Amino acid sequence: MANRKSSVKLTNQLSKYFFLSCAVLVSLIIISIVWFVGVQGLSTFRQASVLEFFTGTNWNPETNHYGALTFITGSLATTAIAIILGGPFGLAVAVFMAEIAPAKIRSLMRPATDLFAGIPSVVYGYVGLTVFIDLIRKTTHSATGYGLLASGIVLAIMILPTVISISEDSLRSLPNTYKEASLALGATRWQTIWKVLLPAATPGVLTAVILAMARAIGETMAVQMVIGNSSRFPQSLVSPTSTLTSNIVMEMGNTPFGSTWNNALFMMSFILLCISLLLIILVRSASRKGESH
């Protein structure tokens, strides 16, 4: 009896330490990702110039020119287009779901947005390639249709589920009294949404937009399929160019591990990693602002 009692106690103790070590493992994983990718990436600068990497547009590894500004610009520009197109649209849908939709329609839209998030990014790329490219080429009379615009549109669709679900959650979590007070004062539903609910939900909406940016800037396959994969600096919204992610996919296979060229590709992924970590810090400060309200 005493034996069983002590073994029950031991299991209880051991399980606690096992859970703790798994949780610590999560921290160790992110730290080692930063370390390994960072070391590999930063070793680019033993041979290449830091200044040229961040400010140059001459990407010609065969002649030791590692200007990655084109790719950095591509990533930032596609992300910006995606947010401009997809942000307001997603927010409108979130407002509809939180405030206007009848219960039946809402219970249909939740799984629908989940499904949007579940569609693999290669499939988005495939639809972009088979439909949007042609459409853009015809409407803009550009040479190929590939470029920032095509990527931005595909990304705008891909960030919808992120924007919708997080904004809707934050609208829903507002105290009912806000709405009731506003309506009791004689405000219309739209005035209540615009003047009371949206301002109160701002931290949540900001979080949604920042996480959407993180998703857009790191997206690889869909962008690679519609950006055109040219290392030329974008001449217009519809000229082929590249992003950080698309260029890594294009060149990783052709470069030996450990070469400066290869390291430069790791440096690009390190930039992506730093941006996404920075965005997480922004999300945290946005939600902290929300709590202090």
Partner 1 sequence: MKAKQRDYVATGLLWLAALAVIALLGWFLAFILARGLPVFDLEFFIGKDGVGAQLFNSFYILALSLLFSLPVGLSAGIYLAEYAPANKLTDLIRLSTESLATVPSIVFGLFGMIIFVNLLGLGFTIIGGAATLALLNLPILVRVTEEAISAVPESYKEASLALGANMWQTLRKVILPTALPGLTTGITLVAGRALGETAILIFTGGMNVSRHMFDVNPLAAGETLAVHLFAVQSNPLPGTNAEQIADGTAALLIIVVLIFNLCLSLPIRRYQKRLMGK
Give the footprint of partner 1 on residues 219-278 (CB under 8 A). 219-221, 224-225, 245, 248-249, 252, 257, 265-266, 269, 272-273, 276-277
CB of 65 to partner 1, least distance (A): 22
Pick the stretch among 54-62, 64-72, 118-126, 171-179 that binds partner 1 (CB under 8 A): 118-126
Site for partner 1 in 133-172 (CB under 8 A): 157, 160, 164
Taking residue 187's Cβ as centre, other Cβ atoms within 10 Å add up to 16
- The token pair that represents 132 in the structure block: 């949007």
Select the residue interacting with partner 1 from 7, 24, 134, 232 (CB under 8 A): 24
H helices of 173-228, where?
176-184, 189-191, 198-200, 202-218, 221-226
Closest distance to partner 1 from the beta carbon of 113 (Å): 8
185 binds partner 1 (CB under 8 A): no
Q: Which amino acid is it at 158?
A: M
- Contact pick of 20, 51, 84, 143 for partner 1 (by CB under 8 A): 20
Nearer to partner 1, 58 or 109 (CB): 109
Contacting partner 1 (CB under 8 A), which of 1, 2, 4, 22?
A: 22
**Closest to 97 (Cα-Cα) out of 156, 169, 199:** 169
**Least Cβ distance, residue 178 to partner 1 (angstroms):** 18
Which C-beta is closer to partner 1: that of 50 or that of 92?
92
Q: Which is nearer to partner 1, 33 or 51 (CB)?
A: 33
User: What Cα–Cα distance (Å) separates residue 169 from each residue in 60, 87, 184, 204, 205?
Assistant: 47, 16, 24, 8, 9
Nearest approach in angstroms of CB 33 to partner 1 is 5
Q: Is 72 in the site for partner 1 (CB under 8 A)?
A: no
25 is a site residue for partner 1 (CB under 8 A): yes
In the complex, minimum distance from the CB of residue 168 to partner 1, in angstroms, rounded to a whole number? 11
How big is the chain, counted in residues?
293
The answer to whether residues 282 and 214 touch, using CB atoms and an 8 Å cutoff, is: no
CA–CA separation, 170 and 68 (whole Å) = 38
Residue 6 CB neighbours (<10 A): 10
One-letter amino acid at 33 equals I
Q: Among candidates 225, 264, 261, which has minimal Cα distance to 246?
A: 225
Question: Are 48 and 264 spatial neighbours (Cβ–Cβ below 8 Å)?
Answer: yes
